[in-house]
Amino acid sequence: MSANVLIIGGAGYIGSHLTYCLRQRGYRTFVYDNLSTGHRELVTGPFIYGDVLEPERLEDVFASHRIDVVIHLAAKSLVSESLAKPLFYYENNIGGTLNILKIMLQYGVDKILFSSTASVYGSPKQIPVTEDAPLKPDNVYGFTKLAIERMISDSSRIHGFSYFVLRYFNAAGADPEGNFGELHIPETHIIPRILDVALGEEDHIVVYGTDYDTPDGTCIRDYIHILDIVDAHIRAIEWLLEKKSDGTGLALNVGSGKGYSVLEVIKTAEKVTGKKIPIVEGDRRPGDPPRLVASYEKIKKILGWEPKYSDLETIIETAWNWHKGRRLEIFRPKRGSFTYTK
């Protein structure tokens, strides 16, 4: 299928893989990103530098190109930062989405795919988590995503556009060719942090909480390979493009259905890299649920999607290949040059 896709936040980890894969499939893409956490070097195809909080600049994109579908990945997504700077998060994530929706309406663009998160469930009682679990985020970041989900579904009913919300669990792994991968500065995600230790960039990894009610006492998470996430997006876009816009949409989990503890991830990383990863036991972090594992039954039923690349070894092998390879060319010159305040 061919269509014009605007990928807002397409210079980041997920967006850069997605843009590349969409272009491989013949989609025409435009990436719009303020590079606050993204990287110009990771963008394939046309790139427009801009902020979602600059409506005039964003409007220019819609005025100059026919857009068939918007993929909205642009967000601030660090839980601890969201607790320290709530207004910044509400402004960037919710305010930015408001601008996007208003401009889409103005230009008659009636399809949107939005990146949401398992954080909308907070600390779920039932594992695996299904989409009808209570939506009770326990941090500001999760609240912004839930508010956006509501903003999209409420306005689509009235204005008649179609939407798809994908609630990702822990995105992980990298392009098997090693050209794209995860590069958040600062990095808070566990697999790249462990790989920093394997590479000798850090001395140890801190394990936050070793007394949870789990078999080895550490938190259990659902890691989903980036290529599986990309596949879910492509299926969701095809669903949106085939469908007549009718003011309805779906919110579906994207997870592997398997859970690994922090210690299991560290052991697998030791095996893959052949390096010892020293650990330091730290306190629990507020708002960290003991287990977060997805049910993917609904997305399997609706889109025929199933995880194909999400076994832990494949995730860590592809992440390691990127981490010690191309990532360093991009990261080393930028180290220390990023600020996270506005």
Ligand X SMILES: NC(=O)c1ccc[n+]([C@@H]2O[C@H](COP(=O)([O-])OP(=O)(O)OC[C@H]3O[C@@H](n4cnc5c(N)ncnc54)[C@H](O)[C@@H]3O)[C@@H](O)[C@H]2O)c1
Residues known to be catalytic: 141
Whole-number Å distance between alpha carbons of 22 and 30: 11
253/268 with CB nearer ligand X: 253
- Closest distance of CB 195 from ligand X, Å: 15
Q: Can residue 124 be called a binding residue for ligand X (CB under 6 A)?
A: no
Judged by beta carbon, residue 207 or residue 226, the one nearer ligand X is 226
Q: How far, in Å, CA of 93 to CA of 79, rounded? A: 13
* 122 binds ligand X per the rule CB under 6 A: no
Q: What distances in angstroms separate CA 107 from CA 17, 153, 201, 325, one per listed residue?
A: 27, 19, 48, 42
**Closest to ligand X by CB, 37 or 273:** 37
168 binds ligand X (CB under 6 A): yes
Residue whose entry in the numeric block shows the structure tokens 């409506």? 55
Compute how many residues bind ligand X; rule: CB under 6 A: 28
Single out the residue of 57, 102, 184, 324 in contact with ligand X (rule: CB under 6 A).
184
Interacting residue with ligand X among 12, 124, 257, 259 (CB under 6 A)? 12
Quote the CA–CA distance of 14 and 233 in Å, as a whole number.
10
Under 8 Å between Cβ of 168 and 117: yes
> Least distance to ligand X from the beta carbon of 56, Å?
13
d(CA 142, CA 290): 17
DSSP per position, 135-197: ----SHHHHHHHHHHHHHHHHHHHH--EEEEEEE-EEE---TTSSS----SS--SHHHHHHHH
Judged by beta carbon, residue 60 or residue 247, the one nearer ligand X is: 60
Structure tokens at 89: 């998060």
Q: Please tell me whether residue 33 binds ligand X under the rule CB under 6 A.
A: yes
Residue from 4, 36, 99, 210 that binds ligand X (CB under 6 A)? 36
Q: CA 18: distance to chain centroid?
A: 11
Contact status: 164 vs ligand X (CB under 6 A): no
Shortest Cβ 308–ligand X spacing (Å): 18
Cβ nearer to ligand X, comparing 11 with 269: 11
CA distances to 2, 33, 59, 231 from 40, in Å: 24, 9, 21, 23
151 makes contact with ligand X (CB under 6 A)? no
- Residues 118 and 170: their CA atoms lie apart, in Å, by 8
3, 5, 6, 11: which one binds ligand X (CB under 6 A)? 11
List 117, 218, 268, 273, residue binding ligand X (CB under 6 A): 117
Site for ligand X in 44-83 (CB under 6 A): 51-53, 73-77
Which residue in the set 19, 29, 34, 273 belongs to the binding site for ligand X (CB under 6 A)? 34
Asked if 97 interacts with ligand X (CB under 6 A), we say no
Q: Give the number of other CB atoms < 10 A from CB of residue 333.
A: 9
Residue of 329, 318, 22 lying closest to 172 (CA atoms): 318
CB 21 within 8 A of CB 42: no
Looking at 3, 13, 20, 140, which residue binds ligand X (CB under 6 A)?
A: 13
Residue 137: CB minimum distance to ligand X, A: 12
Q: How far is the CB of 119 from ligand X (least distance, A)?
A: 7
Decide if residue 171 touches ligand X (CB under 6 A).
Answer: yes
**CA torsion sign, 109 to 110 to 113 to 115?**
positive
Task: Decide if 118 contacts 129 (C-beta within 8 A).
Answer: yes
Q: Is 173 in the site for ligand X (CB under 6 A)?
A: no
The reply to whether 96 sits near ligand X by the rule CB under 6 A is: yes
- Confirm or reject binding of residue 220 to ligand X (CB under 6 A): no
Binding piece for ligand X, criterion CB under 6 A, among 148-156, 163-171, 300-308, 331-339:
163-171
Q: List residues near ligand X by CB under 6 A.
A: 9, 11-15, 33-38, 51-53, 73-77, 92, 96, 115, 117, 168, 170-171, 184
